[in-house]
Chains A and B, each alone.
Chain A
Amino acid sequence: MTTETVGSVEASASGPTSTGSRTTMVLGIVTLIALGVLVLFGLILSPADESQGDSVRIMYVHVPSAILSYAGCFLTAIGSAVFLWRKSQWWELVAYAGAEVAALFTAFTLITGMLWGRPTWGVYWVWDARLTSEALLMLLLLGYLAVRRLAADYEVRAKRAAIIGLLLVPNIVIVRQSVQWWRTLHQTPTLSLSGAEIQGLMLFSLFTGFVAITLVFIWMVIHRFRVAWLEEQLEAEGLDTAIAERRAEGVIS
């Protein structure tokens, strides 16, 4: 991360040679420090739970992963809406970057949830409303990414993906409310407006988890957006070259 950004500073006269910048370098360093603090509090300083024992430590990565996957989905939905409304490519790329990072964090949520379920519930998986709706969210994100990547005209695949992107919002509402609306094995939220059912170092560890994973999320979305931007520039450039070639051949007058 450091060398890459040094490279971009050196090459600033001719544009950066990577998706890194001074901002993302600073952000990257702060993120690494936050992750270190998370390890310190989550794995070492925080106490074991009186009924769950040490497996409660999975919460410090599971819950932030889930919340940030929702954030990614909201970013995708907003980007998709603006794209469908104004045909803004910038927002479409924000949506795409958000969806890929959201898929990554949804995968983390599912895997860490299963690894938390086995020692505490006794089973890895159960088809209750929360787990089922979360699996559906993963499926929807994979559907978005599949449609977005299919070889079709940019306008066509971006539009199809954006429609799926809008569906993410009702899905998140279902995931979030499933534990209130239906009987589930999954517990209701640890943190809510009515007050936290967690205190002291455990609450602080969860807080450091939120901070660290949020920083990782922002860093990832910025870099992934720039990669997507470069890809589209390359595609547009290819198109320009093709037009120029046809012109030279006299196909287009």
Chain B
Amino acid sequence: MSTTVDIAQATGTWPFVAAAWAVVFGGMGVYALVTVVRGRRLSKQVPPEKRRWS
């Protein structure tokens, strides 16, 4: 019994690990991209003296 449990454990949990990491890394990537794109679009409409952060 313990042998079957261990094998199921070793093969069965990687998809969950992969999904969890994909959600976090993918989510962070998408959010970062969306924020940067929004910032660039808005920057074009706001006069330069109101965006001084460099």
Interface residues of B (CB under 8 A from A): 6, 9-10, 12-14, 16-17, 19-21, 23-25, 27-28, 31-32, 35-36, 38-40, 42-54
Contacts and interface: CB of A to CB of B under 8 A. Distances in A.
Nearest to B9: A53
A42 B10 CA distance: 16
Contact of A55 (B16, B36, B45): B16
A114 to B, nearest CB: 9
Contacts of A224: 35
Given A115-B16, A119-B13, A233-B51, 18 more contacts: A1-B36, A4-B40, A15-B43, A16-B54, A43-B21, A53-B9, A53-B10, A53-B13, A54-B10, A55-B16, A112-B24, A116-B20, A118-B16, A119-B9, A223-B39, A230-B43, A234-B45, A237-B47
Interface string A1-43: 1001000110010111111111000000000000100010011
Given A15-B51, A233-B50, A54 B14 contact: yes
Interface residues of A, number: 50
Contact of B32 (A9, A12, A57, A219): A219
A115 B12 CA distance: 12
Interface of A: 1, 4, 8-9, 12, 14-22, 35, 39, 42-43, 48, 52-55, 57-58, 61-62, 65, 104, 107-108, 111-112, 115-116, 118-119, 216, 219-220, 223-224, 226-227, 229-231, 233-234, 237
A16 B17 contact: no
A19 B31 CA distance: 14
Contacts of B9: 53-54, 119
A227 B20 contact: no
B49 A227 contact: no
A19 B36 contact: yes
B54 to A, nearest CB: 4
A35 to B, nearest CB: 7
Contacts of B20: 58, 61-62, 111-112, 115-116
Contact of A54 (B13, B25, B53): B13
A10 to B, nearest CB: 11
Given A21-B54, A115-B16, A108 B35 contact: no
B17 A223 contact: no
A21 B36 CA distance: 12
- Interface-central residue, A16, A42, A237, by most chain B CB under 10 Å: A16
